[in-house]
Amino acid sequence: MIAVVLIAESDPFQLRLLQEVCEAAGHEVVTAIDGTTALEVVARHRPDLAVLDVDLSMDPGERGGLDVLRILRADPRLSDVPVVVTTRAEDVEGRKAALTAGAEDYLARPYRVFEVEQRIRNALRRVLAERRLLALRDDEGLDPLTRGGSEAQLPVTLDYELVRAVRYGHPLTCLSLRVMDLDDVLAAHGRDAADATLVALAGGVRGCIRGIDHLFRGRPGELVLVLPETRREEANTVVERIAARHARAALLGPHAAQLEIGLADRAGIVGTDGMALLAAARASRAPVAR
């Protein structure tokens, strides 16, 4: 998806390099060479990402890069625009000040193109995930069988929630639930019975989670739970509730009997790839006693 990237860079050569990298990635670029101009550009065209040079013109009366960053963070309409600051390689204090003021990330000069590409991609991940969530049509975003989220929506929500959790330092947990003998149900009783098993599981699981939690249909026989603001120990409580229902034979309906659950939290994940969190949950699945 195309994003609007503001590049505010005092050195024309460096500005052009950053502009070419962003345009090569398919993004629309607007530019400024000083802080005042950067704020004027933002007022006309709200960017999806701002790349700000900490060393923007510091002439009397001019706005520096940190000034622009603080103004963006203080404006409710612009406070969620991700900001990547650029600094001289030796300017450690400038980077610390920018991150403290709310910058998403930083780039040190001289730039390495692959690093610029990666930092820009990471900074835009949350913004583009939000846009994809809004763009999903109802038939793409909702699974008609379980009335949970669809498999198409799952990676979008995972990316969004993980980037948000990393950005704000919040916990996030993912659960993968799989009906182990669903193929046997299908073979012995037909498609309607297999579908009814998943519907029963989705209904039972909804009674174990909160309104802010996300339920998705994943791979065949699988449901996925994305639990924002949830630590591992809190997610274990959800697992215990689900296991208790399963032990009472009140979760899968009359045909299926075997369920496995896996759990992963963001503490064990490097980066902001939501599907890596789900992969970790799937890898940890174990049968639930009945």
- Domain locations in the chain as residue ranges: 4-135, 138-287
Class of domain 138-287 as given by CATH: alpha beta
pLDDT greater than 80 at residue 61: no
DSSP structure class, residue 227: E
Q: What is the pLDDT of residues 101-146, one digit of tens each?
A: 888 888 988 888 888 888 888 888 777 776 665 555 545 568 889 9
The H or E element spanning position 179 is strand 172-179
- Chain-centroid distance, C-alpha 56: 31
pTM for the full predicted model: 0.62
Residue 282 has pLDDT above 90, yes or no: yes
More confident residue, 187 or 210: 187
Per-residue pLDDT, averaged over 52-71, amounts to: 78
User: Are the C-beta atoms of residues 214 and 142 closer than 8 Å to each other?
Assistant: no
Where do runs of H (alpha helix) occur along the chain?
A: 12-24, 35-44, 65-74, 92-100, 113-135, 138-141, 154-168, 182-189, 191-206, 232-247, 274-283
Predicted local confidence at residue 130, as pLDDT: 66
pLDDT at position 206 over 70: yes
For residue 107 the two structure tokens come to 């780039």
d(CA 157, CA 140): 13
For domain 4-135, the question of CATH label 3.40.50.12780 is answered with: no
**Helices then strands, each counted (H, E), the chain:** 11, 10
pLDDT of 148 above 80? yes
Percent of the chain with pLDDT over 70: 93
Between 213 and 63, the more confident residue is 213
Please check the confidence at residue 50 and state whether its pLDDT lies above 60.
yes
Give how far Cα 165 sits from Cα of 56, 161, 172, Å. Answer: 31, 6, 6
Determine how β-strand 172-179 pairs with β-strand 222-228: antiparallel
Mean pLDDT lowest among 6-20, 45-59, 168-182, 254-268: 45-59
Angle of CA points 225, 226, 231, to nearest 5° = 110
DSSP state of 266: G
Cβ 160 vs Cβ 29: under 8 Å: no
Two structure tokens written together for 99? 């991150």
Q: Note the pLDDT of residue 212.
A: 82
pLDDT digits 0-9 by tens, 178-204: 999 999 999 999 999 999 999 999 999
